[in-house]
């Protein structure tokens, strides 16, 4: 395949031959013939170049949060008995002109590593590849390439702040049967329940009196079964956000999801465009939620009132509603959800970016205002301690 300089050289040589014919200037014949011969030699050089390469491309990490580093390492090894020419490695990268690195000539079985970084300044999916190995002639007139590695996707998660998890509530796990996890005595005399002995249990935890009475080994269960439930509702209506406030709202939702998932709560993510993850726990569920938040976009067809009716039917545990610009009636509808949930918290991201731009709440539901002067982690962490011991429905600004 001719490069741009190759095409210029080809058409220039032909033009020189035509002008030489018309004007009868012998020197132009020579220049035209040299230009065409140079192109012919370049084509022959590229066609005769045979490569036998081992190419391995590694992307690590394949999942990264906004602003963190993700890089691509390309390992190239020459398996032929002769040296390779200078190689060009070209990788298409979403949102950029692509990455191109040069690999110097490699001797027999010699290896080289080329590295470049991926753009992680915005959440989303960054497509990498397919990777092509390109050979050019010394004059850069002709090139030939082959695909060495397929396309891979790198997921850039939203920015996650280190925030407190949502407090436990009275309606977290209906199977737990208690308000809060109970602190156990340091001496081990206090315990939650007895259960049959299984291989691997500490023999010091055997309750001998109960074992003698029931004629089977019973051990003290030192941990009360308890699992919190947290629902995060993210408002993705385009009318309530500007691009900057929407990114802050997505980051706030991701931070709450991560904080409560780290406590091994059952976490549910609901968005006003109709997406509902359902309750789940574990690293796989958390990754699925973050992957959805990585690609979620604002939309004009979303409905906050319809989503409120959806979560009202399955009201359990705590509810965190992350919204942008709202009206008092919507805040009042959210406040009425406290009849079904143990705790309802509204996080309002002000699209104007100014302190005090958010409308006052129309209910006593805790409302946390996020502005440019009061970022989410500061507002959240300073408010949550006052909610751990107060009854549901206390107003907080």
pLDDT band at 193 (very low <50, low <70, confident <90, very high): low
pLDDT of 319 over the 90 cut:
yes
Are both 239 and 328 inside the same structural domain?
yes
**pLDDT of res. 388:** 52
The residue with tokens 């590229």 is 46
pLDDT attached to residue 377: 94
Regarding whether 255 and 132 lie in a shared domain, the answer is no
Do 244 and 382 lie in one domain? The reply is: yes
- The DSSP string of 49-102 is ----EEEEEEEE-SEEETTS--EEEEEEEE-SSS----EEEEEEETTSS-EEEE
Compare 175 and 130 and report the one with higher pLDDT. 130
Tell me, yes or no, whether 74 lies in a domain: yes
Q: At 16, is the pLDDT very low, low, confident or very high (cuts 50, 70, 90)?
A: very high
What average pLDDT does this structure show over 206-227? 76
Specify the number of domains making up the chain.
4
> What confidence score (pLDDT) does residue 180 get?
40
Q: What is the token pair recorded at 97?
A: 């002109």
pLDDT band per the 50, 70, 90 thresholds, residue 360: very low
More confident residue, 215 or 262: 262
The residue ranking higher by pLDDT, 55 or 385, is 55
CATH of the domain at 83: 2.60.40.10
CB 277 within 8 A of CB 269: yes
Does the pLDDT at position 353 exceed 60?
no
Which residues, other chains included, contact 24 with Cβ-Cβ below 8 Å and sequence gap of 6+? Answer: none
Mean local confidence (pLDDT), 158-174? 80
Q: What is the pLDDT of residues 57-102, one digit of tens each?
A: 999 999 999 999 999 999 999 998 888 998 999 999 998 989 999 9
**Neighbouring C-beta atoms of residue 34, cutoff 10 Å:** 12
- DSSP string covering 246-315: HHHHHHHHHHHHHHHHHTT-EEEEEETTS-B--SB-SHHHHHHHHHHHHH---BSS--HHHHHHHHHHT-
Residues pairing with 128 in the sheet: 93, 152
Distances 207 to 188, 192, 224 between C-alpha atoms, Å: 11, 12, 17
Q: Does 131 reside within a domain?
A: yes
State the greatest distance between any 2 C-alpha atoms of the chain, in Å, as a whole number. 120
Segment 214-229 mean pLDDT: 72
- 362 confidence band (pLDDT: 50, 70, 90): very low
Selection from 384, 385, 354, 346 nearest residue 371 by Cα: 354
Q: Is residue 138 over pLDDT 80? A: yes
Same domain, 20 and 69: no
| pLDDT for 33 | 94
CATH code for position 329: 3.40.50.410
Q: How are strands ordered across the β-sheet holding 71-78?
A: 53-60, 71-78, 111-117
Domain span at residue 209 reads 183-223
The pLDDT assigned to 385 comes to 84
Over residues 25-53, mean pLDDT: 92
| Residue 86 domain-assigned (yes or no) | yes
Please indicate, yes or no, if residue 200 is contained in any of the structural domains.
Answer: yes
Strands 266-271 and 229-234, by their bridges, are parallel
Domain for residue 177, yes or no? no
Cα–Cα distance measured from residue 83 to residue 106, given in angstroms and rounded to the nearest whole number: 5
Query: How confident is the model at residue 364, as a pLDDT?
Result: 67
Residue 39: predicted pLDDT: 93
User: Which pLDDT score, from 0 to 100, does residue 222 have?
Assistant: 59
Are 262 and 311 found together in one domain? yes
Examine the pLDDT at 173 and tell me if it is beyond 80: no
Cα angle 207-212-214, degrees, rounded to a multiple of 5: 95
User: What percentage of the chain exceeds 70 in pLDDT?
Assistant: 87
Residue-level pLDDT at 281: 87
How far the first Cα of the chain sits from its last, in Å, is 66
- Which segment of 82-91, 122-131, 288-297, 355-364 scores lowest on mean pLDDT? 355-364
Residues 253 and 329 placed together within one structural domain of the fold: yes
Same structural domain, 31 and 152: no
* pLDDT at position 184: 35
Same domain, yes or no: 253 and 358: yes
Same domain, 233 and 348: yes
pLDDT of residue 123: 96
**362 and 284, same domain (yes or no):** yes
82 inside domain: yes
**Is 90 exceeded by the pLDDT of residue 397?**
no
* Spatial distance between the Cα atoms of 196 and 246, rounded to a whole number of angstroms: 52
Query: Are 247 and 207 in the same domain?
Result: no
What is the rounded distance in angstroms from the CA atom of residue 73 to the CA atom of residue 115?
5
Q: What is the pLDDT of residue 320?
A: 95
Percent share of the chain, pLDDT over 90:
54
Which among 141, 144, 100 has a CA at the least distance from the CA of 3?
141
For the ranges 106-115, 207-216, 347-356, the lowest mean pLDDT is seen at 347-356
R_g of the chain computed on alpha carbons: 32
Helix, strand or coil, per DSSP, at residue 39: helix
Beta bridge partners of 251: none
Residue 98 lies in a domain: yes
Q: Same domain for 11 and 121? A: no
Crossing angle of helices 4-23/26-48, nearest 10°?
Answer: 150
What pTM value is reported for the model? 0.76
Q: Is residue 173 part of a domain?
A: no
């Amino acid at each position: 395949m001719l490069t741009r300089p190759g095409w210029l050289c080809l058409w220039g040589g032909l033009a020189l031959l035509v002008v030489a014919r018309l004007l009868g200037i012998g020197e132009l014949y020579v220049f035209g013939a040299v230009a065409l011969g140079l192109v012919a030699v370049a084509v022959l050089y590229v066609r005769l170049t045979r490569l036998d390469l081992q190419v391995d491309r590694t992307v690590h990490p394949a999942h990264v949060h906004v602003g963190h580093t993700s890089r691509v390492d390309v390992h190239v090894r020459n398996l032929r008995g002769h040296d390779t020419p200078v190689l060009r490695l070209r990788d298409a990268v979403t949102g950029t002109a692509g990455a191109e690195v040069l690999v110097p000539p490699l001797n027999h079985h010699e290896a080289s590593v080329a590295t470049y970084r991926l753009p992680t300044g915005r959440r989303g999916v960054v497509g990498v590849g397919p990777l092509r190995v390109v050979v050019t002639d010394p004059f850069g007139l002709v090139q030939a390439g082959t695909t060495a590695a397929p396309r891979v996707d790198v997921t850039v998660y939203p920015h996650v702040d280190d925030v407190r998890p949502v407090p436990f509530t009275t309606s977290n796990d209906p199977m737990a049967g208690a308000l809060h996890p109970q602190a156990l005595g340091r001496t081990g005399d206090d315990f939650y329940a007895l259960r049959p002995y299984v291989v691997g249990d500490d023999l010091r935890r055997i309750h001998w009196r109960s074992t003698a009475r029931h004629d089977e080994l019973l051990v003290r269960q030192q941990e009360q079964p308890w699992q919190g439930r947290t629902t995060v509702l993210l408002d993705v209506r385009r009318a309530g956000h500007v691009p900057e406030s929407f990114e802050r709202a997505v980051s706030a939702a991701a931070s709450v999801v991560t904080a409560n998932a780290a406590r091994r709560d059952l976490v549910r993510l609901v968005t006003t465009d109709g997406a509902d993850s359902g309750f789940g726990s574990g690293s796989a569920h958390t990754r699925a939620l973050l992957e959805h938040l990585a690609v979620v976009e604002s939309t004009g067809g979303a409905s906050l009132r319809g989503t409120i009716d959806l979560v009202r039917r399955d009201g359990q545990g705590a509810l965190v509603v992350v919204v942008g610009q709202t009206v008092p009636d919507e805040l009042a509808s959210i406040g009425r959800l406290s009849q079904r949930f143990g705790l309802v918290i509204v996080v309002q991201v002000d699209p104007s970016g100014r302190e005090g731009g958010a409308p006052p709440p129309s209910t006593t539901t805790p409302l946390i205002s996020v502005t440019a002067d009061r970022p989410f982690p500061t507002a959240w962490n300073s408010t949550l301690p006052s909610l751990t011991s107060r009854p549901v429905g206390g107003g907080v600004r």
